Amino acid sequence: MLSGRVVDSTGKPAPGARIYAEPHDGKTVVQTETDISGQFLIRSLEAGSYTIHAAGHGLQSSRSTLAVTKDSRQNITIVLHSAGTSDTGTAGSAESGDSINFFDKPSFAVAGVTDWTAVGGHGSDATLRTSEELNREALALRAQNSAATATVEAAKADERNKKQIALRAAVSASPSSYAANRDLGLFYVNEMQFQQAIPFLEKAASLNGDQPIDEYNLAQACNGVGDFASAQLHVKRALAQGDAAEFHELSGEIEEKLGNPLVAVQQYQRATQLDPKEANYFAWGTELLLHRAIWQAADVFANGAKQYPASLRMKTAWGAALFAGGQYDEAAEKICEASDMEPTAREPYLFAGQIVVTSSSINKCVGPMLERFVRQHSDDAKANYFYAMFLLKQGGTGAQDRVRPLLLRTVAFDPKYSDAYLQLGIMQAGQKDYSAAIAYYRKALEADPQNSEAHYRLGVAYDRTGKPDQAKAEYQMHQQIDAANAALVETQRRAVKQFSVVPNASSAPAKAQ
């Protein structure tokens, strides 16, 4: 499999460019075309040596040799130039199984950001929306470790109260003590009582000559209270004096909140270079994914998963990135592997369920996985619904007899599960029982009046039962909701800056200024 992106010399995507893979043994040339975001995918290439080049918009790339092995998966970027311009042309990441050291010699660099014009991705709009939702959920996994820590700490209330009393007593006894003020301030930071932390950390910093670690501590507290401008100022002061991974990591978080994603991703990359811990890999990968640098995010997650094979969230996010790139089977494989690593964890099941609902290609590993989800959580509405949808899409003899009880259980456990009522209505309509279908469609709309498909299906059922006026009203509601949803989604997409990624560029990230 060969995937990648075609860009011009400024790093802008080249939609409609033609990619040629010419086998050296003289067999038929394999061709494909980039989509509107400049992405391309060649699913099947026989093992051998190929000359790869691209052309489009009056531009062309240089010709580069690529070795393809059996079952290999490679991702490359091709740069188009004016005819006669010399360039290396193609730069690829290694196969997913190769050993890559991103930090000694990264294969890509984020060169800038662009406004949304056509979101990168593959498949229908429904699939794209699912991809975006998976990306957001992957981003939410960043907080996983801190949430777990907070849960553990919550069990030690008495111990924490005693510690707070002792620390406050130390400050009262020695108000000019750097250590006493610093320790009390950090106690409040760890307790997420950031406003209380700030005066003590400010006092500590002034007593210690505003050292980088004190600036970093203040940046944490200011970030916690939402004063991002002050947080940025303090972390920049820390970075000006020290090149520490934790400084870059915090800087990345702050810059993203301030709407500076280019600086943020550079800071996350530098943090990973200095300290390739799991959290830094994950932060870097999710930042790339958030801003639609899909293939680069997948490479970071792949490398992170090699370094931390027990990281469930790394493999789950890797699956989300592959799904965004249109590699649906491979995405499901990674999410199934993540679930097998920790069968009681909910996240992989929820990711897999969303893939099942929207994707027409469903990897066979998903069925046993979702069946396990139902066994573990038989009273969980989502567990029942996702497994029902898997069985429904698989089809076969008796499929509906297995699906119906699962859907009925779904609405029994969650009477507001609109999509489950919708599916029950569709099944009844398939049996020409339109009165029963209408009842289910109405329930779907009671649960969610904005369920566009339920309005459309109800309109069809009214048409079939001789109620054209009611059908027309439902069709109109369907159209209005679809138009409103499309406008909302476009607004949300325009709010997300997309990264412009170039190959073989200097990847040394800029320090925050």
Q: What percent of the chain has pLDDT over 70?
A: 83
Domain boundaries, the chain: 2-98, 418-496
- What Cα–Cα distance (Å) separates residue 106 from each residue in 29, 73, 102, 103, 269? 30, 18, 4, 6, 10
Q: Is 121 left (phi over 0), alpha (psi -120 to 50) or beta?
A: left
pLDDT in tens, 253-306: 999 999 999 999 999 999 999 999 999 999 999 999 888 888 889 999 999 999
pLDDT at residue 127 in the model: 55
Structure confidence at residue 359 as a pLDDT band (50, 70, 90): confident
Fold for the domain defined by 418-496: 1.25.40
Q: Are 192 and 224 in contact (CB under 8 A)?
A: yes
pLDDT at residue 13 in the model: 77
Provide the mean pLDDT of the chain.
83
Non-local (6+) Cβ contacts of 404 within 8 A are: 424, 427
**Where would I find the H helices in 448-467?**
452-464
Q: Please count the CA atoms within 13 angstroms of the CA of 38 that sit on its side-chain side.
A: 27
Q: Are 362 and 392 in contact (CB under 8 A)?
A: no
pLDDT in tens, 449-464: 999 999 999 999 999 9
Helix (H, G, I), strand (E, B) or coil at 56: strand
Structure confidence at residue 131 as a pLDDT band (50, 70, 90): low
Hey, which bits of 383-493 come out as E strands? none
pLDDT in tens, 198-211: 999 999 999 998 89
User: Could you tell me the pTM of the whole model?
Assistant: 0.70
Tell which CATH architecture fits domain 2-98: Sandwich (2.60)
Which residues make beta-bridge pairs with 81? 60
pLDDT for residue 118 is more than 60: no
pLDDT in tens, 399-442: 889 999 999 999 999 999 999 999 999 999 999 999 999 999 99
pLDDT in tens, 329-350: 888 999 999 999 999 999 999 9
**String of b and e for 215-234 (b: at least 16 CB within 10 Å)?**
bbbbbbbbbbeebbebbbbb
Nearest to 258 by CA among 501, 3, 497: 497
Q: Which of 77-91, 170-184, 265-279, 281-295 has the lowest mean pLDDT?
A: 77-91
pLDDT at residue 106 in the model: 54
**Residues 175-185, mean pLDDT to the nearest whole number:** 95
Q: What is the largest CA-CA distance in the chain?
A: 86
